[in-house]
Amino acid sequence: MSKIKLAIVGYGNMGKIHYKAVEKNNFCDDPLVVELDKDKVDGGIQSVNFDEFVESYLDKIDGAIISSPSSVHLNNTLPLIAKNIPLLVEKPLTSSKSDDNELLDSAIKKGIIFKCGLIELYNPIIQELSEIDFENVNFVHIKRHSPKTDITRKLENIILDLTLHDISIIYKIFKPKKVEIMAVDLSKENGVAESAQILLKLDEKFSVFISSSRQDQEKVRMLEIFDEKSVYHCDLKNKFYEVKQGGKIDSVDAKSITESNVLKKVDMLNKPETAEIQLESFVQSIKNNEIDEEHLNIVKNTHELAYKLLDS
């Protein structure tokens, strides 16, 4: 099979990340960039505007990555869905629940390959944890904090930005049939929610506390799963997790006590870039002409819960 030709629609921060990932993928040619603002596009990169793209290039590509602002995702995707072009759409899918439903329904009805940029689903730590059968979970704590972003970046509210990733993690690892919203507290700045504290109950069995913020001093991506016997402490940013159990005293001196309780540590040796893993999954789906039903269900459930949180 010849190399896959992808288009990247939108060349902002995420578009540039996708471009680098495509360049490094052995199964892809250099991507076509679709961007109205030519000043954003580096010299030497092939680029066209969206109207040119729809008119002249849809029959020349094998798939598209949509990384434009979410407010135009629906308009950017519908012409491509009509042509059965596989899509990887950045999160959130759109800027409204109704547009989300229209986009997903259109893609499912057409039977196209469709992925959403819920990138944490491709984190190798999350992939490994999703294969564990957690039967006796007592509590889950998720913390996703970031420093303040540049004022020029027009981000969604925190729920449709950072919290979406953690909702997707819940559905990937625990596969709940019922999620009950117990409490939601949003902190706003200039009318935009910049932090969220959320308490959920899964399948009437255990609670999940999510803390999301764009007001911290450092980047934190942490997941802790507490079951009856162990604690899984996961560093999603650095891609490792430790399984801890009741500790034992290793040594005691005049000033301190040293306690050991790490049962197992799983560390990804090569620290793969999650954007590259996500792209590889998309490319393999195109090559094999495979639709990922599990992924589609997670995308649908994740966005539905996000809007319920905003409405609560």
Q: For the residues 262-286, what does the mean pLDDT come to?
A: 89
pLDDT confidence of residue 277: 96
User: What confidence tens digit (pLDDT) does each residue in 218-245 have?
Assistant: 999 999 999 988 999 999 999 999 998 8
pLDDT confidence of residue 244: 87
CA dist., res. 93 & res. 116, Å (int): 7
Alpha-helical (H) ranges within the chain are: 13-24, 50-56, 73-82, 97-110, 124-129, 162-174, 274-288, 293-311
pLDDT confidence of residue 310: 92
Rounded to two decimals, what is the model's pTM?
A: 0.91
CA dist., res. 291 & res. 307, Å (int): 25
Would you say residue 211 has pLDDT above 90? yes
DSSP state of 154: -
Give the CA angle between residues 30, 107, 41 to the nearest 5°. Answer: 30
Q: For the residues 150-156, what does the mean pLDDT come to?
A: 61
CA dist., res. 192 & res. 301, Å (int): 23
Q: What is the mean pLDDT of the chain?
A: 92
pLDDT tier, 249 (very low <50, low <70, confident <90, very high otherwise): low
pLDDT confidence of residue 155: 64
Sign of CA dihedral 238, 24, 281, 295: positive
CA dist., res. 176 & res. 179, Å (int): 7
pLDDT confidence of residue 104: 96
User: What confidence tens digit (pLDDT) does each residue in 36-74 have?
Assistant: 888 788 778 889 999 999 999 999 999 999 999 999 999
Sign of CA dihedral 21, 27, 32, 34: negative
CA dist., res. 175 & res. 121, Å (int): 13
CA dist., res. 73 & res. 218, Å (int): 30
CA-nearest of 4, 38, 10, 43 to 22 is 4
User: How distant, in Å, are the alpha carbons of 7, 85, 298 from that of 123?
Assistant: 24, 26, 15
pLDDT confidence of residue 148: 82
User: What confidence tens digit (pLDDT) does each residue in 97-146 have?
Assistant: 999 999 999 999 999 999 999 999 999 999 999 999 998 999 999 999 99
pLDDT confidence of residue 293: 95
